[in-house]
Structure 1
Amino acid sequence: MPSFASWLRNNVDGILASVIAGTTAVLIVPSVLGIDLLGAGERSGAVTDVAILIVLALLAIALLRDRSSTARVRDDASAVQVVHGADLDRLHAEAYQDTDRWLFKGGIGTHLRTVTLKECVDNARAAQRPTRIQIEIIDPTDEALCTEYAQYRSSLNPGSDRHGEKWTTARVQREALATILAACWYRERFTLLRVEIALSRVMTTLRWDLSSNWIILTQDESAAPAVLFERSRPHYRAYDRELAASFEQAKRVDVALAKELRLSDEPTVDEVRTLFGTLAVTLPESFTDTDVTDIVRRALHPKDSPQRAASSQRKR
């Protein structure tokens, strides 16, 4: 909201007109009524003068009201910013440098897993800054929900995506499990990182990223523009409350249960199975060691092909 001094500076002409018109009217109106405050003893043209001054005062007031209304509209419009491509990447990069918290809600957390976690941890470690990351994604143990999400993503882009993969129930489960694994892996390597994870049984088509400075809403379709609300806006607080309420209703993953576990720089199949068993996040019975290897790839080497990751796992 603008300060009073700023408002006064922007509306000085209207205020001055109102003061002059009002003051003069106060001096002339009594003479119209027969009260001679100035001692002039004359009422010639007084009625006309008063009428003109009243009109001027009304015009000045109308001017001030119009400016106030215009300022409110401009302020409301600036509260919502539409962000595209490169600007979105820049905003994320700037936020990673100084944020002490990151709240995420979305489908499977791909960007959070592949970019946000690493950047937040690297910058927080450099600044020796405690950081809290809250993650809410769909529940990978809910097969029906994962199927619904896979169908939704397939409907956006039929066939294979830009990585050459199709959206299937198993892929959605592996992606969500990889996000959990990545969060635990980074948590183990930076003691000032506090990680909270919850699994939702409701699918969302939006991704919410909230930092210390802003909240950004993006869509699963990467070409779609994002919407940004800065921290100074009431929308920020409203969405902050929304994320808190949603997180409380989701199924919590008690990350502290894995405190005594140790994940290698390149987690083995047994380590990953033990981790999810400890967290009470049940892997699908159909998942083989190859599936678990793929989860590790998605968590820590998202740019590697499935074939390369599998080959690397066999060499160990």
Structure 2
Amino acid sequence: MGRLLIWLRNNVDGVVALVLAVVVGLLAVLDVISVDNVNAAVLLVLALLATTLLRDRHLSAQAVRDANSVQLLYGPEIGHAHTLARRGTEQWIFKGGTGTYIRAVTLRECVENARREQRPLRVQLEILDPTNEALCKTYAQFRSSLSPEADRTGESWTTERTRKEAFATVLAACWYRQRFTFLTIDVGLSTVMTTFRWDLSSSCVIVTQDNPNTPALMFERDKPYYRDFNRELVASFKQTKQVPLSRSEELPLSDEPTVDQVRSLFQLLSLELPAAFTDRDVADIVRRALQPRNPY
């Protein structure tokens, strides 16, 4: 009965037209009503049918627009979409793991484009908290479960690598911030691991996964869901532990930051490096921050 009521509600105009046509037809056969009344009833039925057709056409058009609001990207298409998204963008919002690709490609190119065009740039990065060892271990296990072999950087995912990559993203944010006056950059540290990566520019939002065999999703700015994802990323960032990057102004960084500078920087930011990290490990963080390898 419930299904029947739902069907009747969704098709009320067609049901009314059908019932009206049947009733008028029976009355005409029985000579109960005149020809003029029959003609008027026919016109009414046609009007109801026309309304039904217009409604169905509108719903079909809406369905087509919704289907076209998302684009599936495969393989090289993903990198090409990121390249187009970086051109002329005035903002970049990222949420993901450690920000490895952000350092290797996105941040550098966005800053270079903004500097060349002499315009401001706003960047918001949400990454894993490198001081949370258990969280970094969980992320490393997840990445290793997808691909036990080394990625294109020549490394496999371990807890130590995860922590270094996240620390390197914070260091890169400070380094670029000191070198481009019109860069506004914020970094938030999340206590929750995500298996998706969100990259939102002024023109689109691209959603990818750490599994390279999975297609990416792209939503353009003038299509549904762009604004929804933007709102989601802002709300998510507000729940993170935000790094006080402004404190880095107290410690100017060299073009090639020294180990002592990096240790002092993270102390200023209240992000203590693990006690087990040697000077060699700190130097490795500097390399990952300023000379990162593209993992894709």
Give the 4+ runs in structure 1 shifted more than 4 A: none
* RMSD value, Cα: 1.8
**Aligned with 2:87: secondary structure?**
helix
TM-score (normalised: structure 1): 0.78
Q: Which residue of 1 aligns with 2:26?
A: none
| Distance in 2 between residues matched to 1:254 and 1:261, nearest whole Å | 13
The structure having more radius of gyration, on CA atoms, is 1
- Conserved? CA contact 1:132–1:195, under 8 Å: yes
Q: Please, which of 227, 244, 254 is the counterpart of residue 264 of structure 1?
A: 254
Deviations 1:119-172 (A, max 9, x none): 110110111111110111000001111111111111111233333322111110
* 1:158 partnered with 2:148: yes
| Distance in 2 between residues matched to 1:149 and 1:282, nearest whole Å | 20
| Distance in 2 between residues matched to 1:182 and 1:128, nearest whole Å | 21
* Residue identity opposite 2:194 in structure 1: T
* Residue identity opposite 2:204 in structure 1: W
Q: Which residue of 1 aligns with 2:263?
A: 273
* Residue identity opposite 1:213 in structure 2: S
Q: Which residue of 1 aligns with 2:56?
A: 66
| Distance in 2 between residues matched to 1:96 and 1:138, nearest whole Å | 23
Structure 1, unaligned runs of 5 or more? 1-42, 305-316
**Aligned with 1:98: secondary structure?**
coil
- Conserved? CA contact 1:97–1:124, under 8 Å: no
- Conserved? CA contact 2:153–2:293, under 8 Å: no
Question: For residues 87 and 166 of structure 1, do their structure 2 counterparts lie closer, same or farther at Cα, with a shift above 3 Å needed?
Answer: closer
* Alpha-carbon distance, 1:86 to partner: 2.6
* Alpha-carbon distance, 1:220 to partner: 0.9
Q: Please, which of 230, 241, 248 is the counterpart of residue 251 of structure 1?
A: 241
* Alpha-carbon distance, 1:247 to partner: 1.0
Q: Please, which of 144, 169, 192 is the counterpart of residue 179 of structure 1?
A: 169
* Residue identity opposite 1:85 in structure 2: G
* Alpha-carbon distance, 1:115 to partner: 0.6
Q: Which residue of 1 aligns with 2:135?
A: 145
- Conserved? CA contact 2:93–2:125, under 8 Å: yes
Q: Which residue of 2 aligns with 1:237?
A: 227
* Residue identity opposite 1:261 in structure 2: L
| Distance in 1 between residues matched to 2:74 and 2:109, nearest whole Å | 20
Equivalent residues in 2 for 1:83-94 (5 A)?
83-94=73-84
Q: Which residue of 2 aligns with 1:192?
A: 182
| Distance in 2 between residues matched to 1:207 and 1:214, nearest whole Å | 14
* Alpha-carbon distance, 1:80 to partner: 1.9
Deviations 1:257-284 (A, max 9, x none): 0113222222221121121111111101
* Alpha-carbon distance, 1:45 to partner: 4.2
**Aligned with 2:225: secondary structure?**
helix
Identity %: 56
Deviations 1:91-118 (A, max 9, x none): 2222222111111111101111111101
* Residue identity opposite 2:243 in structure 1: V
**Aligned with 1:285: secondary structure?**
coil
Equivalent residues in 2 for 1:5-154 (5 A)?
45-154=35-144
| Distance in 1 between residues matched to 2:35 and 2:105, nearest whole Å | 78
| Distance in 1 between residues matched to 2:255 and 2:153, nearest whole Å | 25
Q: Return the structure number with greater relative CO, CA threshold 8 A, min gap 6.
A: 2
**Aligned with 1:191: secondary structure?**
coil
* Residue identity opposite 1:158 in structure 2: P
| Distance in 2 between residues matched to 1:301 and 1:142, nearest whole Å | 25
* Residue identity opposite 1:223 in structure 2: N
* Residue identity opposite 2:222 in structure 1: S
* Alpha-carbon distance, 1:231 to partner: 1.9
* Alpha-carbon distance, 1:299 to partner: 1.2
| Distance in 1 between residues matched to 2:152 and 2:246, nearest whole Å | 36
* 1:285 partnered with 2:296: no
Deviations 1:62-114 (A, max 9, x none): 22111111011111112222122332222222222211111111110111111
| Distance in 1 between residues matched to 2:71 and 2:146, nearest whole Å | 25
Deviations 1:7-37 (A, max 9, x none): xxxxxxxxxxxxxxxxxxxxxxxxxxxxxxx
Structure 2, unaligned runs of 5 or more? 1-32
Moved more, 50-59 or 70-79: 50-59
Q: Which residue of 1 aligns with 2:286?
A: 296
* Alpha-carbon distance, 1:208 to partner: 0.8
| Distance in 2 between residues matched to 1:170 and 1:269, nearest whole Å | 18
TM-score (normalised: structure 2): 0.84
Moved more, 83-92 or 71-80: 83-92
**Aligned with 1:295: secondary structure?**
helix
